[in-house]
């Protein structure tokens, strides 16, 4: 039947890895066209056939000979227009674009269904970690109710180095940028956008219901201080940026991304540097974890090429390829707002060093039905003190009301930090 013909949109780090990896399978696939932004840029690929390069990506999606369009350019525009056109032209899609799927996945999957083509996106969630195909195949017998993970290597690296070196966020971010672990503009990573896009896609697959990105709470790591990490350690925790999704017995989803104090004995507390991890809880399997490199040239290329080869095994061989990998969601999940959630909290306060200060904190919390489980007072000096408390489980709305009362207290001078604690 001949080789499956591939068109690639994007030739950055991941695109180069895809081209290099596909050379191991040149008896099955042929790269017909590659769209790049700059035709004159030197590529890190030996013996690259530059005659197949184009700076017009529509040449790929409109090429009648191309079977599979591989999109590794990132961003929403023009990726959305390109993939929509490719689908209209009957081409199967492999993408690593988590933002595009989180924002426009529903429309793309509906279009793919109408055109009887498949969209595969293993690389869009956890880089080189295989997670989507396992959920859709071998774990298909499970009712999955929890997904928790560390889904962004940049933020995990920053928090790891802040912990190991007792360094500030600003200092470690600069080092991460110099090492290439963080972008010049790191907003997408450090403010939690990247992890939010990923958990939306993961939760949609795991729960069998669409999760809307606009209903997902997001908070980054930019307010985490070296002192927070130090105090967390003293109390038996590590601070991690956790992407979390839970489905209750009524089918309501709680999906969010924010820093959390994770108990040191918990497996996620031991995931360091740029490593990613995904934990699933389901019935009958129980709790399982996938871990590995969440980004990078070859880890991400591993997932992209795996998707390409899965399609190659079926394209031209069947009229309805890869039925188990298709999107069949018909329902959008009801989701909780963050104010409706129940959490434990770490709070760092600057107080006046006076008798009864801790009692006043306890009174305010008690007024709002909040128990205190741990209290740590540090650094009483010049009439000032630092107080750290960890609460029991309480409603987020109640916590916000308690914080307002604390701000109005004559004893509490400043609320330095508020971080949720993993149960």
Q: What is the pTM of this model?
A: 0.95
CATH of 4-127+297-329, one of 3.40.710.10, 3.40.190.10, 3.40.50.720, 3.30.70.940: 3.40.50.720
Q: What topology is assigned to 341-421 in CATH? A: Alpha-Beta Plaits (3.30.70)
Burial 225-263 (b: 16+ CB within 10 A, else e): ebbbbebbeebebbbbbbbbbbbeeeeebbbbbbbbbbe
Q: What is the pLDDT of residues 395-420, one digit of tens each?
A: 999 999 999 999 999 999 999 999 99
Burial 57-85 (b: 16+ CB within 10 A, else e): beebbebeebbbbbbbbbeeeebbebbbb
Confidence of residue 1 (pLDDT cuts 50, 70, 90): low
Exactly one of 5, 103, 198, 238 is catalytic; name it: 198
Q: Does 198 qualify as catalytic in the annotation?
A: yes
CATH hierarchy code of domain 132-292: 3.30.360.10
Q: What is the pLDDT of residues 118-151, one digit of tens each?
A: 999 999 999 999 999 999 999 999 999 999 999 9
Residue 380 pLDDT more than 80? no
Q: What is the pLDDT of residues 201-259, one digit of tens each?
A: 999 999 999 999 999 999 999 999 999 999 999 999 999 999 999 999 999 999 999 99
Mean pLDDT score, 296-325 = 95
Q: What is the pLDDT of residues 327-342, one digit of tens each?
A: 988 899 999 999 999 9
What are the boundaries of each domain within the chain? 4-127+297-329, 132-292, 341-421
């Amino acid at each position: 039947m001949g080789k499956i013909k591939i068109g690639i949109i994007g030739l950055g780090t991941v695109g180069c890895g895809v081209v290099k990896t596909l050379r191991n399978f040149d008896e099955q696939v042929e790269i017909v066209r590659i769209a790049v932004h700059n035709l004159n840029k030197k590529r890190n690929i030996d013996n690259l056939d530059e005659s197949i390069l184009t700076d017009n990506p529509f040449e790929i999606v409109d090429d009648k000979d191309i079977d599979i369009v591989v999109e590794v350019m990132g961003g929403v525009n023009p990726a959305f227009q390109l993939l929509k056109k490719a689908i209209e032209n009957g081409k199967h899609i492999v993408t690593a674009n988590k933002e595009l799927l989180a924002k426009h996945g529903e429309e793309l999957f509906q279009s793919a269904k109408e055109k009887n083509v498949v969209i595969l996106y293993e690389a869009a969630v956890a880089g080189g970690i295989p997670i989507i195909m396992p959920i859709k195949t071998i774990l298909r017998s499970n009712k999955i109710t929890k997904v928790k993970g560390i889904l962004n290597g940049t933020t995990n690296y920053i928090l790891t180095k802040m912990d190991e070196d007792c360094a500030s966020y600003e200092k470690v971010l600069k080092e991460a940028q110099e090492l290439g672990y963080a972008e010049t503009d790191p907003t997408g990573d450090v403010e939690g956008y990247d992890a939010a896009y990923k958990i939306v896609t993961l939760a949609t697959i795991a729960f069998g219901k669409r999760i809307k990105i606009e209903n997902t709470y997001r908070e980054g790591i930019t307010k985490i201080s070296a002192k927070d990490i130090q105090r967390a350690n003293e109390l038996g925790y590590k601070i991690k940026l956790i992407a979390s999704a839970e489905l209750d017995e009524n089918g309501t989803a709680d999906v969010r991304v924010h820093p959390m104090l994770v108990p040191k004995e918990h497996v996620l507390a031991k995931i360091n540097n740029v490593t990613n991890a995904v934990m699933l809880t389901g019935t009958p399997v129980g709790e399982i974890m996938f871990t590995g490199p969440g980004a990078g040239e070859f880890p991400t290329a591993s997932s992209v090429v795996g998707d390409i080869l899965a399609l190659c095994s079926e394209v031209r061989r069947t009229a309805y390829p890869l039925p188990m990998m298709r999107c069949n969601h018909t329902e959008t999940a009801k989701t909780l707002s963050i104010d409706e959630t129940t959490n434990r909290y770490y709070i760092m306060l600057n107080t006046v060093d006076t008798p009864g200060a801790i009692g006043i904190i306890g009174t305010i919390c008690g007024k709002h039905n909040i128990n205190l489980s741990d209290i740590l007072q540090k650094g009483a000096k010049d009439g000032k003190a630092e107080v750290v408390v960890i609460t029991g489980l309480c409603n987020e709305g109640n916590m916000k009301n308690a914080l307002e009362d604390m701000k109005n207290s004559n004893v509490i001078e400043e609320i330095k930090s508020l971080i949720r604690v993993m149960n």
